[in-house]
C-alpha cells in the first residue's frame, strides 16, 4: 500500500512539475517592471501611493483600489504629473478589501479597463490600526482592523491568483509589519488586533513560498515588514473605524484616548480638556507622518528593490532591522520593560 501511495504521489508531483517547468522554474528575478501590470490595494495614500508613483515611473501599468475616491484621484494626478508613457494605464477602483465582492468587482473592472486577463504584481498593502484591546475596544472595532489587515491580504490573493498564474512571471507582495514578529507598541497600550493580523500575514506568506513552488513556480511572493514609516495611518484608521470621515474624535474616542494617555504616564492626562485631547491626537497623527525615520517614498523603493532581488522577506527601515535582531537574540525578554526601554533609546521610538 505504501509503495502504491509513494508511486502515485511521485506521479502527481511529476505532473505538477512538468506542467510548470516552462513557466519560470529557473527564471531569474523580475528585474524590470516596464510594460507589466500591478495591482495595489490602499493606493490612495502612504506606501500605496508611493508604490504607484514609482511603478508608473518605471513604465508599469497600475490598477489601485482604496475606500477613498478622492485620495486615489490625487495619487493618479501625481502619477500623471510627469506625463505617462504612451499607452500606459493608471486606473482607480473604490473597494473595501475586507469585502470579497468588492475585490471581485475591482478585478472585473481592472480586466476591462486595463484590457487584460493577467497581472504581474499584486501589492496587498491596505491596512488600518485600531481595535487594540479585547477589553477597551468594541468587538466591531477589533474585527474591522483584523478583517482589513488580514482578510484583505487573504482575499486579495484568492481573488487575483488566477490572473497572476496566467502571467509568464508574477510576484505577490503582502504587507505585514514589525508587529508581525513583535506584538506590541509599548507597555502602555494593547495592540492585539493589528498584531494578530500581521502575524497571520507573515505566516500566510511564508506558507505560500512552497505552495507556489509546487503549483505555480513562476509566481513568487514576499512579506514586507516595515518599522515606523511616515504615513497617514493614524488619521486614516480613525476615519475608517468611525465611518464618518472626520478628522476629529467623537466623545467615546476622546474618553478612550484620555485613558490611554493616562496609562502611558502623560502628566495630568485625566484633567485635560476635550479640546486638549483633540489637539494631542492631531499632533500624534502629524508626528507619525512627518517625524518618521523612514518616508513612504523610501519604503516603496526598498520594497520594489526587494521584489527585483526576489527576496521573500523584506524589512523596511533601520528600526525594523534592529528590532528583528533584538527579538531573535532574546525572544523570552521581548515583552519585558527593560526590552522596551532599551529599544526606545536605541531606535528613537516613542511607544505606548
Output the DSSP codes for 202-271: HHHHHHHHHHHHHH-TTEEEEEEEE-SEE-SHHHHHHHHHHSS--SS--HHHHHHHHHHHHHTT-TTGGG
Q: Is 295 helix (H, G, I), strand (E, B) or coil?
A: strand
Quickly tell me which residue has 479585547 as its cell.
134
Question: Which residues, listed in sequence order, are joined to residue 316 by a DSSP beta bridge?
Answer: 226
- How many angstroms separate the CA atoms of 149 and 38, rounded? 20
Q: Residue 199 in contact with residue 146, Cβ under 8 Å?
A: no
Share above pLDDT 90 across residues of the chain, in percent, rounded to a whole number: 65
Q: Is the pLDDT at 22 greater than 60, yes or no?
A: no
Q: Is the pLDDT at 119 greater than 50, yes or no?
A: yes
Q: Is the pLDDT at 1 greater than 50, yes or no?
A: no
pLDDT, tens digit, 9 for 90 and up, residues 169-228: 999 999 999 999 999 998 888 999 999 999 999 999 999 999 999 999 999 999 999 998
The enclosing H or E element of 138 equals none
Q: Is the pLDDT at 154 greater than 70, yes or no?
A: yes
pLDDT, tens digit, 9 for 90 and up, residues 75-113: 999 999 988 888 899 999 999 999 999 999 999 999 999
Phi, psi of 246 (to 5 degrees): -85, 155
Q: Residue 69 in contact with residue 94, Cβ under 8 Å?
A: yes
Q: Is the dihedral of CA 128, 129, 130, 133 positive or negative?
A: positive
In whole numbers, what is the pLDDT of the chain averaged over residues? 87
Dihedral angle over CA of 296, 301, 303, 306, nearest 10 = -160
Give the pLDDT band (50/70/90) at residue 122. very high
Q: Is 294 left (phi over 0), alpha (psi -120 to 50) or beta?
A: beta
Q: Residue 247 in contact with residue 255, Cβ under 8 Å?
A: no
Dihedral angle over CA of 204, 209, 211, 212, nearest 10 = 120
Amino acid at each position: 500500500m505504501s509503495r502504491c501511495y509513494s508511486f502515485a504521489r511521485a506521479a502527481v508531483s511529476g505532473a505538477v512539475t512538468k506542467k510548470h517547468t516552462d513557466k519560470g522554474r529557473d527564471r531569474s528575478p523580475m528585474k524590470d517592471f516596464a510594460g507589466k501590470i500591478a495591482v495595489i490595494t490602499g493606493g490612495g495614500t502612504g506606501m500605496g501611493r508611493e508604490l504607484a508613483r514609482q511603478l508608473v515611473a518605471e513604465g508599469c501599468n497600475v490598477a489601485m483600489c482604496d475606500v477613498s475616491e478622492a485620495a486615489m484621484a490625487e495619487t493618479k494626478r501625481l502619477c500623471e504629473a510627469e506625463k505617462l508613457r504612451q499607452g500606459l494605464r493608471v486606473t482607480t477602483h473604490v473597494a473595501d478589501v475586507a469585502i470579497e465582492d468588492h475585490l471581485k468587482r475591482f478585478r472585473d473592472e481592472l480586466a476591462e479597463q486595463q484590457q487584460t486577463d493577467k497581472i504581474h504584481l499584486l501589492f496587498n498593502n491596505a491596512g488600518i490600526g485600531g481595535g487594540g484591546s479585547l477589553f477597551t475596544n468594541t468587538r466591531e472595532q477589533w474585527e474591522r482592523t483584523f478583517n482589513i489587515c488580514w482578510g484583505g491580504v487573504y482575499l486579495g490573493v484568492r481573488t487575483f491568483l488566477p490572473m497572476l498564474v496566467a502571467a509568464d512571471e508574477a510576484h505577490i507582495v503582502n504587507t505585514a509589519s514589525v508587529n508581525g514578529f513583535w506584538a506590541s507598541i509599548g507597555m502602555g497600550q494593547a495592540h492585539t488586533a493589528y498584531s494578530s493580523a500581521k502575524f497571520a500575514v507573515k505566516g500566510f506568506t511564508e506558507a505560500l513560498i512552497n505552495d507556489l513552488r509546487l503549483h505555480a513556480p513562476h509566481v513568487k511572493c514576499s512579506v514586507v515588514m516595515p518599522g515606523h514609516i511616515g504615513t497617514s495611518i493614524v488619521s486614516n484608521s480613525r476615519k475608517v473605524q468611525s465611518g464618518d470621515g472626520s478628522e476629529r474624535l467623537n466623545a467615546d474616542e476622546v474618553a478612550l484616548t484620555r485613558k490611554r494617555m493616562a496609562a502611558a504616564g502623560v502628566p495630568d492626562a485625566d484633567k485635560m480638556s476635550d479640546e486638549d485631547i483633540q489637539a494631542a491626537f492631531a499632533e500624534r497623527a502629524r508626528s507619525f507622518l512627518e517625524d518618521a525615520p523612514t518616508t513612504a517614498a523610501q519604503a516603496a523603493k526598498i520594497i520594489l528593490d526587494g521584489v527585483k532581488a526576489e527576496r521573500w522577506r523584506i524589512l523596511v527601515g533601520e528600526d525594523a532591522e534592529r528590532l528583528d535582531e533584538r527579538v531573535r537574540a532574546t525572544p523570552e525578554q521581548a515583552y519585558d520593560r527593560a526590552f522596551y526601554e532599551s529599544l526606545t533609546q536605541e531606535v528613537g521610538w516613542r511607544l505606548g
